[in-house]
Structure formats: structure tokens, C-alpha cells
Chain A
Amino acid sequence: MMERVPREYLLRVDRLIQGAVDFLVNEWRPAFQAMRYPIGRMLDGVSGVLEAMPFWVVVVLFALAGWRMAGWRHGLFCAVSFALIAFMGLWDEAMTSLAILVTAVSFCIVIGVPLGIVAGRSDRFWSLLQPLLDVMQTTPSFVYLVPVVMLFGIGTVPGVIATIIFAMPPIIRLTNHGLRQVPADTLEAGEAFGATEWQSLVNIRLPLALPSIMVGLNQTLLMALVMSVVIAMIGAEGLGLTVLRGIGALDVGLAGIGGLAIVLLAISLDRITQGFVRLTTPSGQRSRFKSMITRFRTEGAPAQ
């Protein structure tokens, strides 16, 4: 036997964590329960809207979004994808997943962008935030689930909360990055013309950081998609649950169509949010997209 640290000298980090979570559960549970409220409300609202629409309306809407954001090929792709999901009988699950995504990403934007702005303006705040983001991004997603269940319970809303935590880092990082790469001479011009800090933020920093923030949005969306599947394990509904059920019943077909639906959803949304990046990038810097854009933006596109 190799020498090991004697039992009595072991650091009981596990107990420390257990104690901390217990403390939070016992003392702060009402606060955590209260956090469920806005998320639950938004989730219900989004689900309600999505469910109220006939499936073909959603198909058409995504086809239009895909066309305008990424060209007609992608519009076609979106139409086919959503129609296929509907005809595979996974429509309700897909709409639930979509509602989870929309809710989680909205909260990521509402919380993450302001944090990123503060981080972009204060080196000190950024140096505190950075290790926290590393922890958030590297902690295996399963590990989130235990404390989330203890604090928030099980079901779709705790699942959304886990998704928010998991998916938030990219949008914070890229907001911060975007703000920091604003050219110094542009900021100097603002100052020379008498801009206040706030005016400089609204008129110069944020607009110039917007493409970067949109990349963050895209990354956050993809991470949320990943997590929206994992959270099926704590009872969240949606396509993840379909996959989980298929695996549990050794039904490869069911797991397979669940997985396929997720991939189709992911590609559709990814390309659409990439379009946001392009839209917010000043024209001269997007020559890569130019031929495509000019073809599809000249007819009736609102001058932006």
C-alpha cells in the first residue's frame, strides 16, 4: 500500500460545501424561491405565445428570420427544419425548449450585458469577475444541478436557472472585450466634443462594442442549447426530456429524433444570431458578407 494522508488529517471540503449549501437552503430558501418568480412568469409567457400559434406560423416566421439574417438558403433550411420537427411529432417539446432558450438567453442579456459593461470600464471589477466566470464555465454542468435542485427544487424553472448560470459567461466576456477594443481615438473625439461618461458609453462604446456583444449572444445561445438538454435530468421539459426518455427506454429511435430536433434547432438559431453580428457591424467592415447582403437587402429592406 502506498502512503496516504491519514484519515484524521483529510480536509473535509465536501462537508464544507455540504454545510454551505445546507445553510443557504435553510436560511435563504425564500430568497431563492422568490428568484423563481420572474423566470417562471417569463417562461409561461413565452410558452403561451409559442403554443398559441399554429405550427406553420412559427415555421414561416423562422423561415423569414433565417432569410433576412443569413440569406435565402438559410431561410429554406429553417423552414425545412421546423417543418421536419413538427412532422416528427416533437413540436410541443421543441416549443418548450425554445421557450426555455428564449427565457434563459433573455436573462443572460439582462444580467450579463450590464456586468460586462461594468467589467469593461473597471479593471478591478474585471479581475474579480474573471475567476468567477472561469468557475462558471469549467464546472461540469452536472455539478450545477445538485445545488440548483436543493435551492430551487426540480422542474423546468430550476432548469432555466441552471441554464442561465451556465450560459452567461460568454456574453459577459464578449461585452467586456467589445468595450475594451473601442479605438482610443474615437473615445478621444467624444471627450474633445464634451461627451459625459454616459454619452460616451451610449454613443460610442456600446455601438462599437455591439458586434462583439452579438458574438457573445450567439455563444450564450449555443451554450444554453447544450444546457437545455442536460437539465432534463432535473425534470425540465423539452427536447432533452425526449432524448432522456429514449435513452431510459433503450429506444434509439426516440433518442435519435430528439437529438436530430436539437441539432436542427441549434443550426437554425446559430445562423440567425450570426446575422445579428453582421447587422451591427459597420458596412465597410463586412465586405465578407457584402455580395450576399446586397443581393438580399436591396429589395425593400429598411435602410439601416
Chain B
Amino acid sequence: MTAKLKADGVFKVYGTQPEEALRLARQGVHPKDVLSRTGQVVAVCDVSFEVGEAEIFTIMGLSGSGKSTLVRCLNRLMEPSAGSIQIDGEQLLQKGPAELRQVRRTKIAMVFQNFALLPHKTVVANVEFGLQLRGEPRQQRRETALRALEQVGLSDWANRYPDNLSGGMKQRVGLARALANDPDILLMDEPFSALDPLIRADLQEALLKLQREIKKTIVFITHDFHEAVKLSDRIAVMRDGRFVQVGTPHDIVLRPVDDYVENFARELDRSKLLCAGDVSPMRVPLIRADAVRADALRQLLMANKPHAVVVGPDGKPLGFMRGQELEQARDATAMSDLPRRAVASAFASSALIDLYRACEGQAPVAIVNDAGQAVGAVDAGDVLLHLSDHARRSPDGPSMQHGPEMLEAAQ
């Protein structure tokens, strides 16, 4: 993984005498103590990270944790007090005003929590804004802007004014404005936090879908752990100006370094209340051991999963197999000829968190009924998707309804 964006030992101190505060912070004094001893606020304290090409890197923390300050340090809307920031290996902090403008115009774009659209410009003129600033000819920038609007699904609204748009649409415009610049790096400062839950989930999915095409390096700021888990390749949990843990969503949920992080993870698992049988859709295919290879391949393809659970003639899970192996084994005619790995199984009534733990290591888990027959199979992706969807559907608490109809649907 090549580092597109690299931050090294970044500090940001607010106050009149940052030097003393910086010295203390470097010695490892906690920002809270620095505040009480010097009156200076250390908003970002010794933060280092790298973000790779096409990676979504989320900085998650509660308000006041310094995440918004940190993201503004990355394009120098705020000047870091110390440290270095590199884009494509180029030092950002040494650049003069003109060079910095050039970076902002071409390499790094930003999406804001409150959209920050210009109310006196039409939607398409707003999207053109960055291109206009860098002096592109009118015709060309209009075309680019219309393409960007198409990407976010707002072509029909090009000539309206932002005030005619709903919050979710405004943020799509904000996103289009950033995309129109065709930057390498997108900074997204709590872009969906001002939206209501349904719209937020919509936009999250839209972003994920878009990211599959555009493959930008995205630094995403949020205070919402669900959002972080759903979107990120890696998450950094931030508290009091420092990163307390950086890792994949999986790592953070399963191996939180301290209570603070675990609290977020617990927040996520209402999962303790949810049962394995609740997961829907169960997308890992069940393949009968006597199925022919072509059918099995088709099933995998349709489910878009890298693995499947193999079940015996009595419906009991025998193991799981990887799609890759199935593809390579051209001469095998029956599933029974292929290598199989042991598969874990869980009852429909098992707690979801246990199920998720069992999913560790990219393996699917078979969901079995009392007779031991597989009714479906899930993997970590299914569980996470279900959790985030579930949180969106019922913010007040999980539904406990699961019964035969759902099991049937899974079959």
C-alpha cells in the first residue's frame, strides 16, 4: 500500500503561547493536564497516520476530540503547530500560499457538515465552483460539473438553487462539488451528521457505491461508530486529541484497546440483543455436496461472495469452501471432490456478537436449526451490514422478532 497521505507527529495548539504547551505535550503530558498547567488547548496531540490509495480512513471520536481540527490540518485550513503532512511524498507545510492554493485546487477537496453551498448560485454553478476558481473555461467546467451531478444522481436539479433542495440533496451537491475537482484526496468532515437517519444511510450507501468507481483516498470524520464501521477500511478512534486505536472495523470491534473504544463497540452491538437468526439477508450460499461445479459457481457468483457452505444430503453443514478453489478445480465434477474446511455453526438464537466473533478470519458460519440442519450461512460482512441497517431501521431498539418465516426466507 502506497501512502497517499501521510501525517507525522501532528500537533495543533490553540492559545497564545503554544511553545510551552507543545513542549509539555511532547513530553507525553496529557492534553487535559497541559490545559490546566498552561491554559493552552492541545486540540491535536502527536497524531501520525498514513492513508493509502483508494482507502477510506475514518477518524472517529466524540465532539471535542479534535477530529475536525485534525482534518483541517490536512489541507491547512488550520495551521498545524508542529509535525509534517505529506501528500504523494510532498511536504505540505513548507508550501507557500500560491502552492498551497494549487494543492487545494487540484489534489485535495473537502465536504462539509453544513454543506456550505453558495445560496446565490445554482446547483450546477455550485458544483463548478472549484473549477471556476482554478480558471477553467466556462464550457468545459459546465460539462465536468454536469458529469459530477450525474454521479450523485442530481442531474435533474442542475438549474435549481440550493434552497430548493433537501438536506440530503444538498450534501450530494457538496459531494459533487468536491468530485468535480477530481482530487486525489477527499476530506469529509462529518458529511452526513446533519441528516436524518434514513437519508444518512442512503448517502452512506451512495458513497460506498461511488467509491467503487472513483477510488479516491478518503479521510472521513464522524462521531457515529455505525457509520465508521459501515464505510471504513480502517478506523482511528480519537480522544482528547490523540489516536487511541487505529485498525480495521473488525479489529476495533473485536479487540478494543480500552474501555473507551469498547464502549463504542458495545454501542454497536445492540448485537448482544440480536440473534443470529435475525441476520437478513443471509447471503453466503448453501451448496449441496452433490451439486455440480457449474451450478455451485453460479450460486457463488450470484451471491457475490468468496465462499460458500457445503451441506450434506441431510442438510447438515459439512464445511466451507472458497470460490477460488472451486474455480481452479476444473476437473472436479462433484462438490465432494473438493477440499473443505471446517465450518463453525451457530443456532438461530445465538447472540449476534458471538456469531460475529465466530466469523473472524473471513470464514462463514452456518446457522443451524435444532435438528442441526443449516438454514443459512453468514459471514462478517453480512453481520456488519445487518447491524448498520438495523440501527438505521430501529433507532429505539432492536426488534426481537425472528421466526420460521425468516428461516424459510433464508432457505
Binding site for A on B (CB under 8 A): 75, 77, 100-105, 109-110, 112, 114, 116-121, 129-130, 132-134, 161-164, 177, 181, 187
Q: Jot down 15 A-B pairs with beta carbons below 8 A, ordered by A.
A: A191-B77, A192-B104, A192-B109, A192-B187, A193-B129, A193-B181, A194-B102, A203-B129, A203-B133, A204-B118, A207-B120, A208-B118, A208-B119, A283-B161, A284-B164
How far is A194 from B164 in the complex, measured between Cα atoms in Å? 27
Which residue of B104, B119, B161 is within 8 Å of A194 (Cβ)?
B104
Q: How far is the CB of A294 from chain B (nearest CB, A)?
A: 13
A283 engages B77 (CB within 8 Å): no
Smallest CB separation, A303 vs chain B (Å): 8
Number of A interface residues, CB 8 Å? 23
Interface pair A194/B118, CB less than 8 Å apart: no
Interface residues in chain A, defined as those with a beta carbon under 8 Å from any beta carbon in chain B: 183, 185-186, 188-196, 199, 203-204, 207-208, 210, 280, 282-285
Q: List B contacts of A208 (CB < 8 A).
A: 118-120
Closest to B160 in A: A283
Q: Within the assembled complex, what's the spacing in Å between the Cα atoms of A203 and B177?
A: 15
Q: Are B164 and A283 closer than 8 Å at their CB atoms?
A: yes
Report the minimum CB–CB distance from B359 to chain A (whole Å): 40
Q: B110 — nearest CB in chain A belongs to which residue?
A: A192
Q: A193-B105, A283-B161 are in contact. Are A203 and B132 (CB under 8 A)?
A: yes
> Which of B112, B119, B132 meets A285, CB within 8 Å?
B119
Inside 8 A of B187's CB, which chain A residues have their CB?
192
A194–B116 touching, CB < 8 Å: no
Q: Which of A186, A196, A203 contacts B116 (CB 8 A)?
A: A186
Give CA–CA (A210, B133) in the complex, Å: 21
A194: B residues at CB distance < 8 A: 100-105, 130, 133-134
Whether the Cβ atoms of B112 and A199 lie closer than 8 Å is no
Say yes or no: A282 contacts B112, CB within 8 Å.
Answer: no
Given A189-B110, A189-B112, A192-B77, A282-B134 contact (CB < 8 Å): no
With A193-B105, A283-B163, A284-B164 in contact, is A185–B116 under 8 Å at CB?
A: yes
Q: With A282-B161, A283-B161 as known contacts, state yes or no: A195 contacts B116, CB within 8 Å.
A: no
Closest to A286 in B: B163
Q: In this complex, what residue of A is CB-closest to B116?
A: A189
Q: Closest 7 interchain pairs by CB?
A: A284-B163, A282-B119, A194-B105, A194-B104, A189-B116, A194-B101, A192-B110
**Contact status A185-B114, CB under 8 Å:** yes
Set of chain B residues within 8 Å of A183, measured between Cβ atoms: 116
A133 to chain B, nearest CB (A): 28
A284 and B118 in contact, given A189-B112, A192-B109, A192-B110 (Cβ under 8 angstroms): no
Taking a contact as CB atoms under 8 Å apart, the answer to whether B112 and A185 are in contact is yes
- Residue of A191, A192, A204, A282 with most partner-chain B CB within 10 A: A192
Assembled-state Cα–Cα distance A254/B120 (Å): 48
Task: Report the minimal beta-carbon distance from A250 to chain B, rounded to whole angstroms.
Answer: 54
B112: chain A residues at CB < 8 Å are: 185, 188-189, 192
- Minimum Cβ distance to chain A for residue B174 (Å): 8
